[in-house]
Amino acid sequence: MNKEIIYSMNTAYRGEYIIQGYSFGSGDKAACIVGAMRGNEFQQLYICSLISKKLNELENRGAIVSGKQILLIPSLNYSSFNVGKKYWITDNSDINRSFPGNPEGQATSRIAAAVMEKVSGYSYGIQFASFYMEGIFIPHIRMIETGKQSNSLANQFGLPYVLTSKPRAYDTSTLNYNWQMSGTEAFSVYSKYTDRIDEESASQAVSSVLRFLTRMGIIRYNCHAGFISTILDEEELLNIKSDKSGGFFRRLVNPGDEVVRGDVIAHIVNPMTGENVSEIYAPTDGIIFFCQDTPMIYQNSVLFKMIRRLHN
């Protein structure tokens, strides 16, 4: 394992800011793995630490294929971790909305530009990403439909689902999109949680990456086959929202649970009286894909995303 400086800059209050990377093996730029970009992505950073440890063990055993290099960048935003903020500490900007970046721009834009230059040219790019809403997912691969994406390669991670989505305006400033535009096969890996560590889903994420690297001929590693992934379009997911009532959110189901039309899947509780003011029902048969994980919700909030049952 070789440690290197990906980017450094002087900051007004905290001295020199350094982003570090760790490379394994040598030769062709085979795969690049990028971790936490936001200061609440504890699970994503934890997964990267597990991958770093495993890749170091594999390298010491000679299990990195000769002529292949893997670059791991665990975090682009450790300052926000240090002060408990989600976004960049000085201007609240989001690094993953700053790509491809500008070397003469604001701090997050300069970071994005430097990182983009460093990670370009790799055959495969893997990012541990988080969702804009607080919540819990079924672990999956997310891909932006740029016309350059490969669903068959996404299946090689062996996670339960591959979710595709049409690019929205803000997607064009993400790492995944710009990786694809520069010729890298890019995949965003979503674990179960974001702001807390979950050992089981972290282990699943690590296994999925090692499985992918093995199948791409980059490492030699014995792993189980994983899932035969189901490919979904994001537009196929059914949003289940709160009604006109807001309050404490008492969730009765978890991602991966099968539900039947009419099942009560959540209660909304009046925060002053403790009474149930609303019940949330499953509108159809299917599987819960995403759940809100906040203690309180507001009117017309998305509480769940659901996979409709594909057959009777």
Give the CATH number of the domain where residue 41 resides. Answer: 3.40.630.10
Contact partners, residue 13, CB within 8 Å, separation at least 6: none
Question: What does the DSSP assignment read for 14-82?
Answer: TEEEEEEEEEEE-SEEEEEEEEE-STT-HHHHHHHHHHHHHHHHHHHTT-BPTTEEEEEEEES-HHHHH
Would you state the pLDDT for residue 19? 96
Rounded (10°) CA dihedral 251, 237, 141, 94: -80
One-letter identity of residue 192: K
pTM higher than 0.85, yes or no?
yes
Residue 310: HSE in the Cβ half-sphere, 13 Å Cα cutoff: 4
Output the six-digit token pair for 23.
Answer: 């490379």
pLDDT at residue 13 is higher than 70: no
155-214 pLDDT, tens digit each: 999 999 999 999 999 899 999 999 999 999 999 999 999 999 999 999 999 999 999 999
Q: Which of 30, 35, 54 is nearest to 189 (CA)?
A: 35
One-letter identity of residue 43: Q
pLDDT category, 310, cuts 50, 70, 90?
low
In terms of residue numbers, what domain contains 187? 2-233
If phi > 0 it is left, if psi is from -120 to 50 it is alpha, else beta; for residue 163 that is beta
Residue 95: HSE in the Cβ half-sphere, 13 Å Cα cutoff: 30
pLDDT at residue 95 is higher than 90: yes
Do residues 135 and 279 both lie within one domain?
A: no
Do residues 244 and 183 both lie within one domain?
A: no
266-295 pLDDT, tens digit each: 999 999 999 999 999 999 999 999 999 999
User: What is the total count of domains within the chain?
Assistant: 2
Q: Which of 19, 220, 218 is nearest to 122 (CA)?
A: 218
Q: What are the helix (H) ranges across the chain? A: 42-60, 78-83, 107-119, 151-154, 175-181, 199-215
216-236 pLDDT, tens digit each: 999 999 988 899 999 999 999
131-141 pLDDT, tens digit each: 888 899 999 99
Give the CATH number of the domain where residue 241 resides. Answer: 2.40.50.100
Do residues 219 and 244 both lie within one domain?
A: no
Do residues 58 and 155 both lie within one domain?
A: yes
